[in-house]
Amino acid sequence: MTAHRTTAHRTFVRRAAFAATAGAAALALAACGSDKPAGGHDKGAKESGSSAAASPQADGHDKTAGRSSADGHNSADVSFAKEMIQHHRQAVEMAELAESRAASKDVKSLAARIEGAQDPEIENMSGWLTAWGEEVPADMSGMGHDMSSSMPGMMSAGDMAELKKASGGDFDKKFLAMMVRHHEGAVTMGRAEKSDGEYGPATRLAADVVTAQTAEIEQMNKMLGKS
């Protein structure tokens, strides 16, 4: 009886040990046989998801297309830049004459302000044209070319010759009267660009031109004794 119980006990122990070993082996095989992380997601799928997130189109928006749209421009922008460059160049040429010919300190100060504002704007607009693959207009200022018919407010070659001959108080009056007309033309061009342009920096510059030159027109009219 005792021997039978001992044999049965040993059989039970062996079966329990075998079951424990088999269970451990099954767990080990399951771990080795799977590449999936604990969360149940395939590692390859996780890597693929990361690549998609880094892609410009992962969120459904093409970032390259977005930049293209932000930098978009149209023919009105091109015309504005080309014409305003020439317009500004003539204003700068007129302003440079004031240093040696004007009698009034106020006229000299105004001329210096015009030159200081419009030179950088010429550089900006030239940069836009280059970026757009457009040709920057040749600098015809000081060469006696008459461009008065192509843009509003432009002085004729005869106007510029007359201004260059003047000096003192006569120069001041001619300069102010001509610059009022010149600014009025720039305001007209700026309003057209604000209405028809597409390129953000160009339409903002146009708005600045309208604001600044409208104020200068009022100032110059007061200097001329006009209300």
Reported as a pLDDT band with limits 50, 70 and 90, residue 71 is: low
Which position has the higher pLDDT, 50 or 106?
106
Compute the mean pLDDT over every residue in the chain, rounded to the nearest whole number: 77
Q: What is the pLDDT of residue 4?
A: 44
Quick: pLDDT tens for 174-210: 999 999 999 999 999 999 999 999 999 999 999 999 9
Q: Alpha carbon 42 to chain centroid distance?
A: 44
Give the number of C-alpha atoms closer than 13 A to the C-alpha of residue 159, restricted to the C-beta side: 21
Residue 222 has pLDDT above 80, yes or no: yes
Quick: pLDDT tens for 95-147: 999 999 999 999 999 999 999 999 999 999 999 999 999 999 998 766 555 66
**Mean pLDDT calculated for residue range 19-41:** 43
Q: What is the pLDDT of residue 42?
A: 45
Q: Are 87 and 155 in contact (CB under 8 A)?
A: no
Which position has the higher pLDDT, 211 or 139?
211
Residue partners of 222: CB distance under 8 A and separation at least 6 = none
Q: What is the pLDDT of residue 142?
A: 61
Q: What is the pLDDT of residue 38?
A: 44
